């Protein structure tokens, strides 16, 4: 279910072949990696977005060479091509960057707080990052009880069926939610899944205003979650924190605890980056 960040099918045809292309495989260095790094640096200098013409000019690459490298990077989620032909950093790069805050891994920063929250509610606590149209589970703290909900680290779930995913969608506004719905068609995983865009936007926007969201058996029957966003020092959504429990054990009063845990992680992020 991984979403592939492919260049649109109506993307323009590549420029004429580069006469130097045949020489790319020579030498002791892997030139394509050097050239991709140069393109990424050029994107960063231009605020994270630039046209093919600008990128080729700033890196000294022939336009056809730059086009091919950007297309391959797009296939791997490292680059995205938006409207108007501008290139930008892809969701996979953003996810990797989110794993590191200064010299400290966000998982290391979050783990003590996750363990504190686990001990308060005696249920599983998850840390998630967004990658494209899915959340990825990158850390967890599990309780010492036989019957518990567990998400495998590295597993994924569509945004619209998770508590934190709905908050991530809503943080981008209604247009982002509608675009997501058009791309994915909002597949229903249970009878409780919000499979109509109007329902998804109404619920997600209400959740964002409240500062927390519920997953009411929308991904799996019998499982209920509570989630909050973790924001970076600039106020942008960085990750998600959630409590996963059997639905009959989940308690609405845990919303205050998970919001407090989210604030604690944000404070640790700020200190870790010197904010």
pLDDT band of residue 158 (cuts 50, 70, 90) is very high
pLDDT the model gives residue 273: 53
Question: What contacts 24+ positions apart, CB below 8 Å, involve 260-267?
Answer: 261/113, 261/114, 261/116, 261/117, 261/125, 261/228, 262/228, 262/229, 262/230, 264/113, 264/116, 265/109, 265/110, 265/113, 265/230, 265/241, 266/230, 266/231, 266/233
Choose the CATH number for 96-272 among 3.40.50.300, 3.30.450.40, 2.40.160.20, 3.40.630.30: 3.30.450.40
Q: Enter the pTM of the model.
A: 0.67
Name the helix (H) or strand (E) containing 239.
strand 237-246
CATH classification for the domain delimited by 19-89, as one of 3.90.550.10, 3.40.190.10, 1.10.10.10, 1.10.1740.110:
1.10.10.10
Q: Per-residue pLDDT tens for 85-134?
A: 788 887 677 667 666 554 458 899 999 999 999 999 999 999 999 988 99
pLDDT digits 0-9 by tens, 216-233? 999 999 999 999 999 988
Q: Is 116 helix (H, G, I), strand (E, B) or coil?
A: helix
For the chain, give every domain's residue range.
Answer: 19-89, 96-272
Looking at residue 275, its pLDDT comes to: 43
């Amino acid at each position: 279910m991984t979403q592939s960040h492919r260049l649109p099918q109506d993307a323009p045809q590549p420029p004429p072949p580069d006469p130097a292309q045949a020489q790319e495989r020579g030498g002791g260095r892997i030139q394509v990696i050097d050239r991709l790094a140069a393109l990424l640096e050029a994107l960063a200098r231009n605020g994270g977005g630039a046209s093919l013409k600008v990128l080729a000019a700033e890196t000294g690459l022939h336009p056809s060479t730059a086009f091919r490298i950007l297309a391959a990077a797009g296939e791997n989620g490292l680059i995205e091509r938006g409207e108007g032909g501008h290139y930008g950093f892809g969701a996979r790069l953003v996810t990797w960057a989110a794993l590191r805050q200064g010299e400290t891994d966000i998982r290391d920063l979050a783990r003590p707080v996750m363990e504190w929250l686990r001990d308060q509610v005696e249920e599983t606590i998850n840390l998630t990052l967004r990658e494209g149209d899915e959340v990825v589970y990158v850390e967890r703290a599990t309780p010492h009880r036989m019957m518990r909900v567990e998400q495998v680290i590295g597993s994924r779930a569509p945004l619209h069926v998770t508590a934190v995913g709905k908050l991530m969608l809503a943080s981008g506004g209604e247009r982002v939610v509608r675009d997501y719905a058009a791309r994915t068609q909002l597949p229903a995983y249970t009878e409780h899944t919000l499979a109509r865009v109007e329902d998804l936007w109404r619920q997600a926007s209400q959740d964002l205003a409240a500062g927390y969201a519920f997953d009411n058996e929308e991904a799996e029957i019998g499982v209920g979650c509570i989630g909050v966003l973790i924001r970076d020092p600039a106020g942008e959504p960085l990750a998600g924190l959630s409590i996963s429990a059997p639905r009959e054990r989940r308690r609405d009063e845990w919303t205050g605890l998970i919001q407090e845990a989210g604030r604690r992680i944000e404070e640790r992020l700020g200190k870790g980056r010197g904010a």
